[in-house]
Structure 1
């Protein structure tokens, strides 16, 4: 009996090593998966088959080609033909430090500066969904929606019915949703939309693909584009809980942007690429002029921004690189809001360097979990960062889901990417990086208002936690690279 157990352990360990090392991955994730596969025999391999393997490159890059290049060329042409100074002139007006961030995204994400945008900040579900519904009802040509979560609850039905009405009126409607994030929402829910001429498909999901099913790589983006002229990006999904209707979370505190201007082109471009990677039998024409109408003669606004995406289709971790660069550029303040705080070593080092250089670094996280292991890991990293003088706040007025960063008086970021391994490496994400003093001050004012409804967590308060709680935090931290 002892010999049999020994053989099983040896074989399990051997197969674990072979399984993990046959695909290149960072060392932290490698050790985390070895830990899971060796400590949880058999079941660990089942978990790995769903959550550990990489997506086949042929699926990730299926949408890239000459049409995508031509689409981006067309966008650059439209932006340069638009009102006001050229893109190069707008870049030249920025401080040299901000210019370095623009250059970074141009190189690693092929994302030029989008100039002359009108940007509105929304921090409540009531505000966001009222503006969203108003924009959807006004659609005349096309509606493109991409959400991690599209629940079939009261709000989900309301949004779907608006889409049905517009599709019936002849508007082209396309909905892209994540099958795991929208758990419980079946194809039947979207059947009336399809009957009205609209389209809805799950992201990168194929029929009869249980063998290749990947649990780990999720479409966490939140993109809405109406008539190619109005765009939305941020942290809200579609569901009742985002209106504070779920007792478990109570008030839902999030941040979203409404954009008019050239930035909408890049939201549209990323939606089209994601759609064509998922709906292979019903691709959209990325060169169709209706998706990229000419800019109005009058400049919509004065905000310059870049729409940046990241995901497992690239090793560049573009949004994480942007976060790190923002932290490096901070001279006075770097204020972060995130529901999940599970940074890797590079972001931890950047935060510590900034704090120890005299920058006012603050991180705000929720006071409650929605994923227990993730929350315990968040608590662990919060306690460690507090030791370096970083101010940590627990938001007390419901659930904080905002993903924002404010640096000094001009730079900021709002989007879908959390401050964690999953958003950095595994999820498909989208953020707007903004170069605007007014937006930075507005987000800073929101942050200060949120502090009034938060409790500061000090080194002493973390040390007063029970040993059992600290053990759960440390144990969760070991799994951080794969949570």
Structure 2
């Protein structure tokens, strides 16, 4: 996923990794953090300024099912289809979505923002003209080259579809052929998305509008962002948009708050795992306090082998604290999800690496709903059946090279001003 972004910065930062202290977050949460429930929602609002919204229906979407779900909802759209994506590349997956958009109703607006790093020049050369022929307005987020604006690493990594301001999708997916399939064959990436319907979709729509307006799009019609949304379910949701910041980013704040809220279990699936020293310390402390901390990460099939080396350099330390670790075997494990206790689940675009935590434009949905949490926990347990359990003597635990790689990513991902 990140070849064009990660490989050059890794080479530039290996030497920088040999000096200085480990990356630290400017956020230091004091006192006990409440567990999922009213206290957590209050802490979430104080720390992030984002309220949990009641009255939503949520449904998990696994692997290649995302394209069926998107095509179905595009066909139902009556007013608008709004899209912001990091990856959109030519192929069968792209053809499926382009054809669905071309077949939508004549009066349905289509607004699309893509990142030029994730989507590569092939998008602008092969896909964008077809979308424009399909009556879609398409913009590139923070163009590269002579038109570049802002830090080159502050890319859009959000993955959002919003339809009629009524239904929204987010997760780890892109529009590219590696997301086709079932997640258990080598060329089919394992990923998780979520569909949300109800008043909580407004937060995802506003996250889209931030990037749409920055990319020279016009204001969304007022009726689209002010229409009353009726409750359709029992789930509470909160969508957090994160951008680079001199202080702690919303991504960093949300991660630390959520991990510290765990009392019984903290089950993490993450594609790129090289978190800050503070977050590693929180995983250790949660495990030592009796929380069942589990970590599922990519194994032998990885689109960024250097990042796998960095992830593995943390194994010995985490294992010593009692954290249980698995490496997914059949394909690239690309999910970004968290299960907390029995009522809170997290899904979105955010990886647990310095780029996501400090620099990238990210979007993550928190869901308070016992049924959704149970379903995500069941998916985690299915995934570990296709994973290898890591123990202290495993050959996957690297030496100095893995530590060097991890520290290099921490250096390049340091927030501005740190």
Number of the residue aligned with 2:222: 288
Structure number with the higher helix fraction is: 1
Q: Secondary structure at the match of 1:201?
A: strand
Q: Secondary structure at the match of 2:219?
A: coil
Number of the residue aligned with 2:44: 105
Q: Does 1:370 align with 2:303?
A: yes
- Structure whose CA Rg is larger: 1
Task: Return the alpha-carbon distance in structure 2 between the equivalents of residues 193 and 448 of structure 1.
Answer: 39
Task: Return the alpha-carbon distance in structure 2 between the equivalents of residues 37 and 334 of structure 1.
Answer: 30
Where does 1:218-297 land on structure 2 (aligned, <5 Å)?
218-244=155-181, 249-279=186-216, 282-285=217-220, 288-296=222-230
Task: Return the alpha-carbon distance in structure 2 between the equivalents of residues 291 and 420 of structure 1.
Answer: 33
Task: Return the alpha-carbon distance in structure 1 between the equivalents of residues 234 and 78 of structure 2.
Answer: 26
Q: Does 1:470 align with 2:408?
A: no
Q: Deviations over 1:437-472 (max 9, x none)?
A: 11111111111111111111011115x75xxx5232
Number of the residue aligned with 2:85: 147
Number of the residue aligned with 1:50: none
Contact 2:17 / 2:407 at 8 angstroms: preserved in 1? no
Where does 1:360-399 land on structure 2 (aligned, <5 Å)?
360-367=292-299, 368-399=301-332
- Alpha-carbon distance change, 207 to 195 in structure 1, aligned in 2, over 3 angstroms: farther
Taking structure 2 as the reference length, the TM-score comes to 0.85
Q: Does 1:131 align with 2:69?
A: yes
Q: Does 1:205 align with 2:143?
A: yes
- Alpha-carbon distance change, 247 to 328 in structure 1, aligned in 2, over 3 angstroms: closer
Number of the residue aligned with 1:182: 119
Task: Return the alpha-carbon distance in structure 1 between the equivalents of residues 195 and 183 of structure 2.
Answer: 25
Number of the residue aligned with 2:271: 339
Alpha-carbon offset, residue 96 of structure 1: 6.8
Task: Return the alpha-carbon distance in structure 1 between the equivalents of residues 14 and 156 of structure 2.
Answer: 26
Task: Return the alpha-carbon distance in structure 2 between the equivalents of residues 457 and 313 of structure 1.
Answer: 35
Contact 2:251 / 2:358 at 8 angstroms: preserved in 1? no
User: Which of 242, 253, 259 is residue 321 of structure 1 equivalent to?
Assistant: 253
Q: Deviations over 1:201-250 (max 9, x none)?
A: 1112277325x574311111011000111100111111111014999942
The root-mean-square deviation of aligned C-alpha atoms, in Å, is 2.6
Q: Secondary structure at the match of 2:345?
A: strand
Number of the residue aligned with 2:287: 355
Contact 1:341 / 1:382 at 8 angstroms: preserved in 2? no
Task: Return the alpha-carbon distance in structure 2 between the equivalents of residues 377 and 238 of structure 1.
Answer: 27
Alpha-carbon offset, residue 290 of structure 1: 2.5
Contact 1:232 / 1:257 at 8 angstroms: preserved in 2? yes
Q: Deviations over 1:121-173 (max 9, x none)?
A: 11221x22111110011111100011110111121122122223327x12110
Task: Return the alpha-carbon distance in structure 1 between the equivalents of residues 140 and 238 of structure 2.
Answer: 27
Contact 2:350 / 2:356 at 8 angstroms: preserved in 1? yes
Q: Deviations over 1:21-69 (max 9, x none)?
A: xxxxxxxx9xx95934999xxxxxxxxxxxxxxxxxxxxxxxxxxxxxx
Which structure carries more relative contact order (alpha carbon 8 Å, separation 6+)?
2
Alpha-carbon offset, residue 318 of structure 1: 1.6
